[in-house]
Structure 1
């Protein structure tokens, strides 16, 4: 059997998984649609619609992935489990296949295909159609493990190829609990999932190369902990920032053009294609949710894990960073550290952090998250001053592990060294 395909196509991946479930070997023939190979006369002779996938089985040519899937099961299946012979069960499978083609995948094409061509997705109305399609699928799966009955069928496989395409592009299915549950299980029970995922990774690479890179302006002062945190987050999610220096010592944050962007006139401030957001922890979460990988461990979808990360971020802002500013930051203005009461608050904050890290490698669970990166930016600032944190062994252990696990750590240290040099020179001038 000759199989004309592209591994990136959802329909092609459907047929590959069905063939795997049936124990069939396909003679795969790659068709590069980007180069117009589907328009060559020899291919048009096989399939006048010149679409992929196309299957040629001993001279018999058939196209449209769902038709191919059913054909393979009916001709080569050892039983009818993937496509039942019972009229009612079969009708249910057919209905779901039609839903996949005309509703679910259709919504993908309308919203995401423009992204590949122009770098911009479809309209808000197009996106609402995606949400409507997933709401329907969520309803179909209420109380069911499979989309068309009590066992895996070609409908599951076809819809799995489609849903996984949404996921790799970055669509969040966590709002649809039945779909999310089904999707997790389908990966385990569907033969050929690994090859499906391999094709998806090629699609992701292609979509990133075709899509325009986001225009992310970061108004910042690189020496500041909050700015360094965002630099590391950007590194972790793989986006480039257009760094725009705001010298707060010269009052540049008070200029009308900046106040128009951020009426609180604070840094860092991020502007993403016209959308402005400030407060480093809010920026950090935004970057992961918009540009991170689906289900990124940096800010996972699970509500409990998120709650713990959020708690640590609030701890950083309201307790740890607050304590450091009151004890260490007076040094930048006067050359003197804060008083004993301020130092006690630093010790208390480090004590809390030490407790959070008892028996674990990261501050909010068993993986690196935005909370680690933000708090690392804060804690690393302490290295500018004489401060003994050896009495906080868990913090010390966690901090020493940072260079191994934190993206952008070298840039963070470079900014710290620049800050140290800057303030030493400034204080030298003040003391003259």
Structure 2
């Protein structure tokens, strides 16, 4: 049994304590979500929602903490275990408390306190008020009883204990305002299997947070502004690269058809006034392929397979990126006249694009990726370009290696589903524009 997790997180600690209560052992597989490891193709294949924790039990895959803990009890606990008994009414109360933890307690706690780990400052006053309300509700649930969902320890206590014990990370959290919670919390530490390991994980996580390198590189999430036109292949390429390395982009729409790129405020950022343009904490870079490489080098894992350190591998990737520039140029000259005239480009421009596709077909002979044995930024950038052919009636079957590579994209490219959704919007936009021009 494998548990893909981020040690120290409340969700992982809840499962750890539940497993301890049941005497179940598992293989802990660490996924660093801050480094984007949950987006690795091999994990997305296991869990397409790419969330952790994720449990794999002899081929059976399940994710979401609360679903995992109830599964573990039903699969490995004693018959009618008090942790999650068979009685429908008892289960209903336990389930209510589990949903309360997910939607109210943990959610509000995370929104107010977790920003401390990234920025050194808590969330808004509104977030604090919601957190206080959640603890007040928990305090009410515990009025006159020792456990959150009845007269015995259940998985609801364990899950909520994992959430509440995260206060150990915080200086001077005041339990005095919630006397029933404070009483329950002290007792839960005595009766919950795995409490000492839970506390150890919290302390280890706290120590990790205090290191300057970890704080700067992991908790201080980057603020990245991407000036772009989302429907364009170059912008879609950057969106997929960002997904692959686990960074979020603040998308700033630049409507080039309305001349937004020529406005003084944008020209001041990028005197060449081209998109996409990335602004990373004051550092400005444009040209999609340069942005793609930058994102991997700055935010990817060390020696990332997307753009590895080996000079020969990089050279091949770079060659394919420069090749994409000429391929994109040929496609755009054939495709984009639709915007202006309602008709595609001439036969000469189509021939140039077909020639590029023939070259790409040759590059892919006998291999699954365009620049080696693994997915790289070259694949993602070229896929963004080639996927634009879905807007028009273009037959990829003429290029069987390209078609095979393209069909494999959903299995290996983070953000591919979002790319296809944007393509659907692009096709609708194209169709409406063509209909308007051809009236």
TM tier, smaller = 0.5 to 0.7
**Residue 250 of structure 1 pairs with residue 282 of structure 2:** no
2:307 alignment partner, SS class: coil
Equivalences for 1:10-409 in 2 at 5 Å?
Answer: 207=215, 211-318=219-326, 320-409=327-416
Unaligned runs of 5+ in 2: 1-6, 9-115, 121-203
Bigger Cα displacement from structure 2, 386-395 vs 294-303: 386-395
Rounded Cα–Cα distance in structure 1 between residues aligned with 2:270 and 2:229: 15
Rounded Cα–Cα distance in structure 2 between residues aligned with 1:117 and 1:410: 29
2:397 alignment partner, SS class: coil
Rounded Cα–Cα distance in structure 2 between residues aligned with 1:390 and 1:210: 44
Report the number of matched residues: 239
2:285 alignment partner, SS class: strand
Output one character per residue of 1:142-181: Cα deviation in whole Å (capped at 9) or x when no partner.
xxxxxxxxxxxxxxxxxxxxxxxxxxxxxxxxxxxxxxxx
Shift of 1:381: 0.1
Rounded Cα–Cα distance in structure 1 between residues aligned with 2:425 and 2:218: 37
- Change in 2 beyond 3 A, CA 1:266/1:117: closer
- Change in 2 beyond 3 A, CA 1:331/1:117: closer
**Residue 429 of structure 1 pairs with residue 436 of structure 2:** yes
2:225 alignment partner, SS class: strand
- Change in 2 beyond 3 A, CA 1:257/1:391: same
Shift of 1:207: 4.3
Rounded Cα–Cα distance in structure 1 between residues aligned with 2:395 and 2:260: 35
Is the Cα contact below 8 Å between 1:220 and 1:245 reproduced in 2? yes
Rounded Cα–Cα distance in structure 1 between residues aligned with 2:313 and 2:258: 41
1:367 alignment partner, SS class: coil
The RMSD of aligned alpha carbons is 2.5
Is the Cα contact below 8 Å between 2:330 and 2:349 reproduced in 1? yes
Q: Give the greater-gyration-radius structure (CA).
A: 1
**Aligned counterpart, 1:48:** none
**Aligned counterpart, 1:100:** none
2:252 alignment partner, SS class: strand
Rounded Cα–Cα distance in structure 1 between residues aligned with 2:119 and 2:343: 56
TM-score, structure 2 as length reference: 0.52
Is the Cα contact below 8 Å between 2:343 and 2:434 reproduced in 1? no
Is the Cα contact below 8 Å between 2:307 and 2:314 reproduced in 1? yes
Rounded Cα–Cα distance in structure 2 between residues aligned with 1:262 and 1:208: 28
Output one character per residue of 1:62-89: Cα deviation in whole Å (capped at 9) or x when no partner.
xxxxxxxxxxxxxxxxxxxxxxxxxxxx
Shift of 1:333: 1.6
Rounded Cα–Cα distance in structure 1 between residues aligned with 2:392 and 2:118: 52
Rounded Cα–Cα distance in structure 2 between residues aligned with 1:292 and 1:417: 29
Shift of 1:427: 2.0
Shift of 1:431: 2.3
Unaligned runs of 5+ in 1: 1-6, 9-114, 120-198
1:263 alignment partner, SS class: coil
- Change in 2 beyond 3 A, CA 1:417/1:206: same
Rounded Cα–Cα distance in structure 1 between residues aligned with 2:396 and 2:218: 48
Rounded Cα–Cα distance in structure 1 between residues aligned with 2:287 and 2:334: 22
Output one character per residue of 1:104-151: Cα deviation in whole Å (capped at 9) or x when no partner.
xxxxxxxxxxx98977xxxxxxxxxxxxxxxxxxxxxxxxxxxxxxxx
Rounded Cα–Cα distance in structure 1 between residues aligned with 2:208 and 2:412: 28
Shift of 1:346: 1.3
Is the Cα contact below 8 Å between 2:338 and 2:430 reproduced in 1? no
Is the Cα contact below 8 Å between 2:342 and 2:433 reproduced in 1? no
Is the Cα contact below 8 Å between 1:116 and 1:210 reproduced in 2? no
Structure number with higher relative contact order (C-alpha < 8 Å, ≥ 6 residues apart): 2
Bigger Cα displacement from structure 2, 322-331 vs 397-406: 322-331
Rounded Cα–Cα distance in structure 2 between residues aligned with 1:321 and 1:283: 16
**Aligned counterpart, 1:413:** 420
